[in-house]
Amino acid sequence: MIRSFIAIDLPEATREAIAVLQERLKRSRAGVRWMKPGSIHLTLKFLGNILPEQVDEIAAAAAQLIRDEPPITLYAAGLGSFPSLRKPRVIWVGLQGEVDRLTKIQTGLENTLETLGFAREGRGFRPHLTIGRIKDRHRLQGLIEAMSTVELPEFNSFDANEIILYKSDLRPTGAIYTKLHRMPLAAPASP
């Protein structure tokens, strides 16, 4: 079985800005397991365990869905937590830009993959980048205060040109992500 998900990769500049933000938040010394900036991505659909023979079918269905969609312009913006700032479990950076188009693609993935036997996500899609997970409540108040006062780095916009089917191997040191299949969005028309 292959633990897998579909996501959008981030440019290096966005990852570097997230690393700066994480360093600022780490000063709170709260019990947070910070995500490695190189592994942060925008998850569109978590698939769970799939069979190796399902990889091509999933990739073909996703590629068919997005074949006429031009690249999506996005940028990271804002800081928050799930389920709330008062009781954080997941620390995230939000996304802005062509979020309506992104949501349309995510909804299309839900619909398409449901026909292949993958259950729909129970929660509504809220595009975000997970940057940390609370591992204990120690010094949590300091983190909450830091999140409300921290200066956010400048995030440049980027074009999402493809979606990727990833394999996720869980390790004690953190998950290792391997790209199984790249599915490009349509190339913009030439002037």
| Residue 189 located in a structural domain | no
- State pLDDT tens for residues 22-34: 999 999 999 999 9
Which residue in this structure is represented by tokens 């190796």? 52
| Residue 191 located in a structural domain | no
- State pLDDT tens for residues 102-155: 999 999 999 999 999 999 998 889 999 999 999 988 788 999 999 999 999 989
CATH number assigned to the domain comprising residue 22: 3.90.1140.10
Asked if residue 188 has pLDDT above 60, the reply is: no
CA 152/CA 82 separation, integer angstroms: 19
pTM: 0.91
Domain, as residue range, for 10: 2-184
- State pLDDT tens for residues 57-92: 999 999 999 999 999 999 999 999 999 988 899 999
Neighbouring residues of 104: CB distance < 8 A, sequence distance ≥ 6: none
* Catalytic residue from among 15, 45, 128, 181: 128
Residues 7 and 58 sit within 8 Å (Cβ to Cβ): no
Asked if residue 47 has pLDDT above 70, the reply is: yes
**Domain count across the chain:** 1
- State pLDDT tens for residues 110-121: 999 999 999 999
| Residue 95 located in a structural domain | yes
181 is catalytic: no
At 173 the pLDDT is 79
| Residue 129 located in a structural domain | yes
* Catalytic residue from among 15, 41, 167, 181: 41
| Residue 38 located in a structural domain | yes
